[in-house]
Amino acid sequence: MKDLNLLYVFEALWRDRSVTAAAENLGLTQAAVSSALKRLRAEYGDRLFMLVGRRMEPTPLATAIAGALLDSLSTIRKTTGTLMPFDPTHARRQFTMRTRDIGEVVLLPRIQQELLRAAPQSSIQTVYAPIDETLSALATGRMDVAVGYLPALERNIYKCPLFQEEYICVMRAGHPLATRPDLPLEAFLAQDHLLITYSGSGHILLERALLEAGAKSRIKLRMPQYLAAPHALLASNLIWTAPQALANVLARFYPLVLRPLPLALEPFEIALYWHQRFHKDPANIWFRSLVIEAIKGIPWPEDPAAPPQR
């Protein structure tokens, strides 16, 4: 590629999926970005990015060459020591965060609130993908960060611990055990259980603990989505071992009872993850800082401002 400026345009289109947003974040006119895209297309003999709905989606060739081009741009930045500054006040940037529905319930409202305050023209898109796809997306910039309990996300990844989380037992208010102040292990194991399962999460340790404690035959419902769990509980006598922060939020909106878990399980770490390629990227640095500060402001269960458990 003779004109290295085309690399910056490719990166912006890959990241923003919009000629308008790419132009604003590059400090160029839309006509200049369109002209650069035309030259990129001529050089590769491919459309590279095509309008699908309102987004410029990459073609298979663009997806295939993205890693090499972004690596080249990263090398150029390291050798020249130049990184485009990020101006949150004027940037029109869509930040993509990998999280599950649990993160959307517990963390996203505060993160979105802070983003609207600090970068009113920017936005957040949440996505979910298996670990391999998440690693690839973080490496190419299709995802900016991932948030959750993801011990399998390791290769070329930076991690910032956000908070320690614990499990708690959840049941409907009319459950036969709901009036008991505590939940003995024998009674816990004798109940029918609901379990949230999906690949790539550290929560597989919870399933292992339940099986080792003797609840194997009592797991009556497995499902991948956390937000479907309250509806299953309200229609049955199932009990659910859930992350405490999520359980506290759900108990505000559903007639649920929370009890300490009689199983001895270690707390687990919720963390922020990003790829080493974007470790020094100004926009990524800024968004990471925003996420960290936003989560610090969330009232957790031990906080006096948090609602009491039922």
What pLDDT shows up at residue 153? 86
The Cα-based distances of 275 to 46, 120, 157, 164, 233 in angstroms read 28, 26, 5, 22, 38
What pLDDT shows up at residue 309? 42
Share of the chain above pLDDT 90, in %: 56
Alpha helices in the chain (DSSP H): 5-16, 19-26, 30-44, 60-80, 101-106, 108-118, 131-140, 185-190, 204-213, 229-234, 244-250, 282-296
Q: Which of 177-186, 201-210, 235-244 has the lowest mean pLDDT?
A: 201-210
What pLDDT shows up at residue 237? 96
pLDDT in tens, 125-134: 999 988 888 9
pLDDT in tens, 131-168: 888 988 898 888 999 999 998 888 889 999 999 999 99
Kindly tell me if the per-residue pLDDT of 217 is higher than 80: no
Q: Sign of dihedral through CA atoms 81, 84, 88, 93?
A: negative
Residue listed under structure tokens 């081009």 = 69
What pLDDT shows up at residue 310? 40
Residues in Cβ contact with 132 at an 8 Å cutoff, skipping those fewer than 6 apart: none
Domains along the chain?
5-80 (1.10.10.10), 94-164+269-296 (3.40.190.10), 167-266 (3.40.190.10)
> What value, to the nearest 5°, has the Cα angle with vertex 79 and ends 45 and 119?
75
For residue 103, the 8-state DSSP code is H
pLDDT bracket for residue 246 (50, 70, 90): very high
Helix (H, G, I), strand (E, B) or coil at 182: coil
Mean pLDDT of the chain: 88
